[in-house]
Structures are given as structure tokens and as C-alpha cells.
Amino acid sequence: MWCHGRRSALFAVAVAAILAAAAAAGEVVHDGRRTYIVHCSHAAMPSEFAAHADWYASSLQSVSGRAAAVIYTYDTLLHGYSARLTRAEARALEAQPGVLLVNPETRYELHTTRTPEFLGLDRAEALFPESNTASDVVVGVLDTGVWPERASYDDAGLGPVPAGWKGKCEGGSDFNSSACNRKLIGARFFLAGYEASKGPVDTSKESRSPRDNDGHGTHTSSTAAGSAVHGADLLGYASGTAKGMAPRARVATYKVCWVGGCFSSDILKGMEVAVADGVDVLSLSLGGGTSDYYRDSIAVGAYSAMEKGIFVSCSAGNAGPGAASLTNGAPWITTVGAGTLDRDFPAYVTLGNGNKYDGVSLYSGKQLPTTPVPFIYAGNASNSSMGALCMTGTLIPAKVAGKIVLCDRGTNARVQKGFVVRDAGGAGMVLANTAANGEELVADAHILPGAGVGEKAGNAMRTYASSDPKPTANIVFAGTKVGVQPSPVVAAFSSRGPNTVTPGILKPDLIAPGVNILAAWSGSVGPSGIADDHRRTSFNIISGTSMSCPHVSGLAAFLRSAHQDWSPAAIRSALMTTAYAAYPNGDGLLDVATESAATPLDMGAGHVDPSKAVDPGLVYDLTAADYLDFLCAIEYEPAQIAALTKHSSDRCSASRTYSVAALNYPSFSATFPAAGGTEKHTRTLTNVGKPGTYKVTAAAAAGSTAIKVSVEPSTLSFSKVGEKKSYTVSFSAGGKPSGTNGFGRLVWSSDHHVVASPILATWT
């Protein structure tokens, strides 16, 4: 029996919480039933069954009281199945012998040219000239599908599909099985879980096939590994050559997201099939809140993928700048936040009082008159309490006709506000941030002359529009500007740490470009993503950690091609320890949200630097056994570990001492009581570069002087590749109020390499 006495109570509490969250998220629960994922012990199948599928069906029938059907069976990333159950049936099922856990399904959401040069990939590629290994790497992208006709999937110059590839191109509505080629080598779709919850896909709105009708999946997959496309642009903006981070890698897409969301039963099956197909990298730009790793389907799937040597990259989320807002925090996942490029799309708003304000825009169309245009604040042109937000139907046409309308950002989509203004007869729009977004500016392809401005400018404009008897304004669009400084800066929307599941693991791991990113786009939808937008473009510029994640996925593919023997942990270590946390002048990278230096809770190790990551000198490596020790350290129960890892439930030994501080992670997170204390961490470095002697420096950041860091030994010498050396770090802290954070950086330096790790100290 795999059941334990306290599991029923734990299950009831967990299910109640998840069901409440599901209701809030708009999950569909038909007649008390919803989808559950049933984790089973593969070895516990009773002898009377010839196959696991038969056992699963029988166990389901035994509790359902009706002709229930299995939605999916899972055979590799986990053992078990998914099905529609009532809560009582789920509890009864979990009490059966051989059943480890029964988890309610989670609905996940999407985390919605210049980049290679900004990242220095031109320099990095020179270190590893084109080779067959670069084109043997496959990036699997779980998202909204693909628009295969885009030039980003051109296979010119690529050789045959890798010999070990087992994937295929699945046909369906608006998608021919011949749509794949030597670049796009696989395209599949998964919707049984979605349809079990939401009903049949509405084929008038989206294709029942790998076809991408949203744009998000085409954008992310082409960002990761798109072929070079000359003359790419969006409506004349950001013109140049667009290419992915690993332009010679192959792409395989797995459509798991639909109009109603991305359901964990489909995501798990998509991950399982992708691993069986033979991908080397998995990229998932989606998330669904935080929960224990054994209840997080992405964490479960990623664990088994990691065991098979597959690098898994996930977006941190777009819920910043609030603390503890990130998702996908499992230590075997590389968690990616977002920063800016050195490229912007300026627009200038001039008021009738002569004041001029900087903004951004991707508007391309008929310009406003050069003479001043009447200006009005939306809150003064509506009888609705939501009028200032330019919600549908809230503006009074007689008050906005022929005027530039100032709309508050928030609640409805940014570009949607422009449609509302246009439909009410407005001539243009200024979209003003409120305190929720501060000074962060995200460029949009507005449907009418429109520009976004920061909170300070917005406040000044509101005051002017409400106090001047005849307010006027004008907007001038200045095209594309490169060389913007400072850059990068951490995007305000980028989700932040700490890691709420295991605070001893610092997350996010690092940041990558995620603001105003140009990449391929769907032919089904306009650049705004709004149904009424009838413009069609081959490329689009959008922002989010959804965009930063595939940058890292593509860079991981690039590193895999250069270092085929590196583990997923070694690849992540190389990306993290070579990331930069300061500008060339020594000042720390800035955070848009605070307009001050970013911290490791905002950016992890810093901004990715691929030209250095190809030759990191040393790496912090990890195996599946190390992660199992970590799960013992966080005191997961045997059944929980077995459900997550598929390994024996008695893995944790009572005679051993386990510690999160012993996980060989490339960053440090120490926790102290308010009175202060001492905490020791152990790490092991593996030489992957030239022989050399490394000396350590460790220091607290300004304002974090209550932290003392000592390292033993302080010097490590390596004579050959593969050699390993261990060290111990002692963190000592004086007393601080509960909730205080301190930061620092630990650096090993040789004549040729710098291996850096961020430090977080938290007083609880």
C-alpha cells in the first residue's frame, strides 16, 4: 500500500484550495466533475492486468460509478492517467493501493532583429563555427502552435533531419502534414484535456491542428531557433535581419494552449511526447501560480525531462514588480525574468502649454495634423466609473469626437483602448501609466495615432487636461532608435522572488531580453491580437517573460551544440555564472519599477551573456540524485517524491542528514532568524576550461553590511577538464527586522575566467 494516514486530510485541504483557485480562474466544472491527474506506482500494477492501461481503466471504473473514460495515459514523464472525477471519487481513488497522488488539473496561462547583436551572439558564434552538431539540436516549444509558412522556418542550408528524431507533423484543420521541413521538423497538438473541461474547440476561432491562430507560439519558437530573415520589420519598425538564438537548431512545436487556456493534462502529455520524440531543449512560456512541486505539472514533467538530459526553460511570469510573484521555481527548471534591449520606439507628446513628454509607440498609419488637436481626459468624457480606463462603451462620442483622448492604463488590453477611442470618434490616444506600472513603457501597434507614457507624465497630463479651459496636444512618432542607455534594465512586469515553495533556492535564475521583441507572427491575427484588428504582418513586436524564456531556450541549444556532454545543470550554470549584474561603468543594473539598482530577487544572477557562457571556466553541476537529496531535505513524503520522480518512495534515509544548502546550485539563499545567526553552504565546482587557479572574493552589497561571508578554502586549483573541487561558505548575520533582505556576490576568478554567484540573505 502506498497510502499514508495523513494523506486524506492533506488531500482534502489541497483539493479545496486548488478548486477555489480554479473557480476564480474560470475553470469549467461540469456536474461536480473536473479533470484530475492520477499518479500511480508503475511497479504496483496487480498481476491480473496485462497492461497498465487496463489497470488504469479498471481503477477509474471502480470509483466513478459510471462509464468513465481515461483522457490520457502517461507512461514516461510520470506513470498514471487523467480523467474527469468528482472530489469524492478522487479521494476514493487516492486511497487505492498503487495510487500515489491525485492532483486537480491546473489551468496555465501564456506569459505574454536586434537581439542577437545586443547579446553578442555574433562574437559567440565565431568561437564555434557552423557544424553538423549545431543543426542536430532540437528545441521543443510548448505553446499555441506554429504558422509554418513564415520565413523563420525556412530550411535552406540545413541537412537531413537528425537520424534519431521520432517526431512527426500532424495534420488537421488548416494544417497539412507536409507543412514541416528540415527546420520545422515536428508539429503536434494536444486538446483532449482542454475539450474534457471546456467542450469542443470552436473551429470558427481556432484550428483543431498545430496551426497557430494566436501568434504567441510562432513568436516564441522563432525567437528560440528561427532562421535568419532579412528585411524583417513590424509596420516599418525594427527593420533588419531577424533570427533566433540558435538559427541552425531544429524546431518542434507542441500546441497545448487554446483560447480558453493551457490545461495541465495536455501540457504533461505534450511534454511526454516531446521527450519521446527526441528534443534536446524544452521551452515553456507559460505558468499557473505556485504549488508544491509534486502538484505542479510542469515541475513534474520537467523533472523526468531533466533526468533524460533535456534542458527545460520556463518564464518567471508577468506579475511583477510585486515580491514573491514568480512561477516555475523548481530547481531543475531554469526560470527566466525579463529585461530590455538597447532599442526603443520613441513618440513625443506635446501639450498646449508647451510641455513635451517622452513616450513609445508602434503606430504606423495616417498621422495627426501638425496643428494642435483638442485634448481630453477620458474620465471627463464618460458617465461611467470605468470611463478613465476607456472600457468598451464608456466614452461619450460627443465629448471625444476629433480629440486626442488620455486613457488610464489597466483592466482592459492596452491596444483595445484605442479601438474604444476610435469607435467613439476620437482622433488619437495617449495611454498613461498609473502607479501599478510606474515608468515602464511597452510599445504597442496602436490602431489609431497613439502613444504610451509613464506615470509621471500621465499625472501631469491629467492635471493639464482637467484644468486648462481649451487643452490641446499632439503626438509625433520618431521610428526606431538603437543604442538606448542604460540597457538592459529589469522590466517592471517581470515576476520577482523569493521562491515561495523553497526560499532556500534563489529565483529567478537570470534575465534575458523580453521587452519589445521582434519575431515571426501568425497570419490569423493582427499585431494587436484583437479580433477587430484586420492588419496582417509577418512579424510582431511584443513583450513579456514569454519572450525572454525562448531567448534562454535558444541559447541553451547553442551551448548544447558546442558542449554535447554538458548536463542541463551545467548549461544553466554556464549561463548564470557568466551573467552580468552591472553596466561597464560598474553601476548595478537598474530596475524600472524602483528606478534604482536591481537585486538578485529581481534578476537572479543577472543578464545573460552568451559570448562568455560558451567558455565559463567552471560549472556547478547537478545530477538527478542530487535533486532527490533536495526533495528529502524539504521533507516531502515518500508518496510525494515517488509521484514527482517515479523513484522508490523510501529514497530518503533516516541515517542521513539532508540540507537544501547542500544543493549544488549556482546561487546562494541564506535564511536567518531576526536575531541573526550562521548558515553553511557547500558547493562543488567542475572544471570545463583551461587549467588554472581560482581565488574567491565575496562581499555584501551596499546596505547589506549585516552579512559576513567567509569561504574555505579561498583558492582552488584545477589541472584538467572534469576535475572537481569543493568549498564551504559560511554566512553570518547580525540581527535585522523580520522581512529584511540583504544581497551580495561570490566570485571565483582566474587569469581567464570569472565565475560569479548572487547571494540573498533573508531575515524571517
**Who contacts 274 (Cβ-Cβ below 8 Å, separation ≥6)?**
140, 142, 167, 252, 254, 282
Residue in 708, 657, 661, 660 with CA at minimum distance from that of residue 680: 661
Q: Is 523 helix (H, G, I), strand (E, B) or coil?
A: coil
Cis peptide before 488 (omega within 30 of 0): yes
DSSP letters for 12-40 = HHHHHHHHHHHHHTT---BTTBEEEEEEE
Dig out the grid coordinates for 287 from the structure: 505558468
Spot the catalytic one: 39, 79, 216, 753. 216
C-alpha separations of 672 from 676, 709, 731, 741 in Å: 5, 14, 10, 10
Q: How far apart are the first and last CA of the chain?
A: 39
Place of cell 506579475: 319
- Tell me, what DSSP letter sits at residue 587? P
Q: Which of 136, 143, 277, 296 is catalytic?
A: 143
The SS3 assignment for 573 reads helix
Q: Return the C-alpha cell found at 99.
A: 495510487
Of 227, 291, 494, 546, catalytic: 546
Is residue 112 exposed (0-12), middle (13-18) or buried (19+ Cβ within 10 Å)?
buried
SS3 644: helix
Q: Is residue 111 annotated as a catalytic residue, yes or no?
A: no
Active site (annotated) includes residue 216: yes
Q: What are the distances in angstroms from CA 40 to CA 43, 77, 106, 321?
A: 9, 12, 19, 39
Neighbours of 715 (CB within 10 A): 12
| CA–CA separation, 239 and 113 (whole Å) | 7
Nearest to 407 by CA among 424, 385, 383, 432: 432
CB 426 within 8 A of CB 451: no
Neighbour-count burial of 206, counting CB atoms closer than 10 A to its CB (0-12 exposed, 13-18 middle, 19+ buried): buried
Q: Please give the angle made by the CA atoms of 211, 214 and 215, to the nearest 5 degrees.
A: 90
Do residues 290 and 463 make contact, with C-beta atoms less than 8 angstroms apart? no
> Is 684 in contact with 698 (CB distance < 8 Å)?
no
DSSP 580: B
564/660 Cα distance (integer angstroms):
29
- Going from the C-alpha of 412 to that of each of 139, 517, 542, 574, the distances in angstroms are 34, 22, 17, 40
Residues near 351 by beta carbon (within 8 Å), at least 6 away in sequence: 357, 375, 461, 464, 471, 472, 473
527 φψ region: left (φ > 0), alpha (ψ -120 to 50), beta (else): alpha
- The Cα–Cα gap between 36 and 318 comes to 27
143 is a catalytic site residue: yes
Instruction: Round to whole Å and give the CA distance between 429 and 452.
Output: 9
Paired residues of 652 in beta bridges: none
Residue with cell 532540437: 138
Tell me the β-bridge partners of 679.
731
Rounded-to-integer distance, Cα 236 and Cα 351, Å? 27
Asked if residue 462 lies in contact with residue 483, where contact means CB atoms within 8 angstroms, the answer is no
Place of cell 568549498: 727
Edge-to-edge strands, sheet with 257-258: 257-258, 261-263, 107-110, 286-287
Phi and psi at residue 663, to the nearest 5° = -65, 130
* Amino acid of residue 242: A
Q: What is the CA radius of gyration of the chain?
A: 26
- What amino acid positions are annotated as catalytic residues? 143, 216, 546
